[in-house]
Amino acid sequence: MNNETYKYIFGPVTSRRLGISLGIDLIPYKTCSLDCIYCECGRTSDSTIEIKEHIPFEGLKDELTTYLNSNIKLDAITFAGSGEPTLHNRIGDVIAFLKENYSEFKVVLLTNSTLFHHAYVRDRVIGADTIIASFDAASENVFKKLNRPHKDLTLFKMKEGLLKLREEYQNEMILEVFIVPGVNDSDDELKKIKIFADSLGPESIQVNSMDRPGTCDWVKSVSKERLKEIETFFGIDSMKFNHLKSTKNISCKDIISEILSTIRRRPCTKSDLKKMTGQNTGVEKALEKLISEDKIVLKKMPRGDFYYTKDRG
Ligand code: SF4
């Protein structure tokens, strides 16, 4: 993908849970209703709950049409990126456009769950095939410490909104809990999160922990043993993911553009980037070039060495 052509879509990225997924970024960097201490996009510079047309719907539609008509293999199209997608007032129109014209792709929404207390936000996302909704804290003080919400948001509103969404939304809902040791991993907090999750009744729960560079250096990952314990506590079975193979042929210039547009939103390892592009030597060369030009940074993490752009907050 050439990011001189595409401003609002990125990837596709390969992930364990979604396979090969094209990203749609509806929100400018770094606009969000939360400022999570683990955010892999960096600090929120525009903390807002203002819902508006953050990027032009027509421009996005043009990009999607050009890209999706080019016979690329995908498993899913995912609203993700550098901010909260439901802050865009036309997310419902984007979903309707995809369903009408590209119904072969699964439409997935990654959301921080903060805006579902608005009935109109719930209405807009009802057509998504899967909603992966974050819920990291069940106590107001932990919510504030971990997710650093906009001043007009409360955990109470978030819980109410999620419960209403569950009543109205008929498709798959996955609750995602991000664990930060020392912040939301006490037995008491986990018990409260589980009580809420049980009352919500999502199709499944996923537990995540830091495995790529985030916003705060002090945020550490959970040990594998503890993660397993927490998964067992939530009644989570190990999930199996099927991956499709990328069939793209892309030029060297495109690899650089594609790498930049992806790691600006999500730090990746070399192996992530090779899977994403289907290229080995091309990725090696592109990373060398970007490092020598001082455009990207390498950070060592327990899961591997992650690359991200220098202009990230
Ligand atoms: S992790 Fe998601 S919700 Fe949290 S600050 Fe980053 S973009 Fe916003």
**Which is higher by pLDDT, 71 or 86?**
86
Please tell me the predicted confidence (pLDDT) of residue 58.
97
Interior/surface letters 61-85, b for 16+ CB within 10 angstroms, e for the rest: bebbeebbeeeeebbbbbbbbbbbb
Quick check: 247 pLDDT over 60? no
**Which is higher by pLDDT, 303 or 233?**
233
Q: How far does the centroid of ligand 1 lie from the alpha carbon of residue 174, in Å?
A: 17
pLDDT band at 250 (very low <50, low <70, confident <90, very high): very low
d(CA 227, CA 200): 22
Strand partners, 106: 76
Quick check: 144 pLDDT over 50? yes
Is the CB of residue 34 below 6 angstroms from any atom belonging to ligand 1? yes
For 253, other C-beta atoms within 10 Å of its C-beta total: 11
Kind and range of the H or E run holding 94: helix 91-101
Q: How far does the centroid of ligand 1 lie from the alpha carbon of residue 10, in Å?
A: 17
Please tell me the predicted confidence (pLDDT) of residue 240.
37
Atom 6 of ligand 1, nearest CA residue: 39
Please tell me the predicted confidence (pLDDT) of residue 274.
81
Q: How far does the centroid of ligand 1 lie from the alpha carbon of residue 253, in Å?
A: 30
Query: Which atom of ligand 1 is nearest to 44's Cα?
Result: 5
* pLDDT tens readout for residues 37-80: 999 888 999 999 999 999 999 999 999 999 999 878 899 999 99
Q: Where are the beta strands (DSSP E) in the chain?
A: 9-15, 19-24, 31-32, 46-47, 76-79, 106-111, 130-134, 172-179, 204-209, 268-269, 296-301, 304-309
Quick check: 82 pLDDT over 50? yes
In the chain, where the domains are located: 9-250
Quick check: 149 pLDDT over 90? yes
Please tell me the predicted confidence (pLDDT) of residue 263.
85
The count of residues in the chain is 313
Quick check: 283 pLDDT over 70? yes
Atom 7 of ligand 1, nearest CA residue: 83
Mean pLDDT of the 178-187 span: 96
Per mean pLDDT, which range of 144-148, 155-159, 281-285, 309-313 is the poorest? 309-313
Please tell me the predicted confidence (pLDDT) of residue 238.
47
Interior/surface letters 21-57, b for 16+ CB within 10 angstroms, e for the rest: bbbbbbbebbbbbbbbbbbbbbbbeebbbebeebbeb
303 phi/psi in degrees, rounded to 5: -80, -10
Is the CB of residue 84 below 6 angstroms from any atom belonging to ligand 1? yes
Quick check: 296 pLDDT over 50? yes
Closest CA to 234 of 265, 257, 200: 200
Please tell me the predicted confidence (pLDDT) of residue 243.
33
Pairing outcome for strands 304-309 and 268-269:
antiparallel
Atom 5 of ligand 1, nearest CA residue: 35
Q: What is the CATH number of domain 9-250?
A: 3.20.20.70
> Position 236: which residue type?
I
d(CA 169, CA 133): 12
Please tell me the predicted confidence (pLDDT) of residue 312.
67
Is the CB of residue 32 below 6 angstroms from any atom belonging to ligand 1? yes
DSSP string, 207-248: EEE--S--S-TT--PPPHHHHHHHHHHTTPPPP----PPP--
Is the CB of residue 35 below 6 angstroms from any atom belonging to ligand 1? yes
Mean pLDDT of the 278-302 span: 84
Mean pLDDT of the 123-149 span: 98
Per mean pLDDT, which range of 104-118, 180-194, 275-289 is the poorest? 275-289
Is the CB of residue 39 below 6 angstroms from any atom belonging to ligand 1? yes
pTM score? 0.83
Is the CB of residue 83 below 6 angstroms from any atom belonging to ligand 1? yes
Please tell me the predicted confidence (pLDDT) of residue 299.
86
Q: How far does the centroid of ligand 1 lie from the alpha carbon of residue 26, in Å?
A: 13
Q: What percent of the chain has pLDDT over 70?
A: 93
Per mean pLDDT, which range of 59-73, 192-206, 218-232, 245-259 is the poorest? 245-259
Is the CB of residue 15 below 6 angstroms from any atom belonging to ligand 1? no
Q: What percent of the chain has pLDDT over 90?
A: 63
Is the backbone peptide bond immediately before 220 cis, with ω within 30 degrees of 0? Answer: no
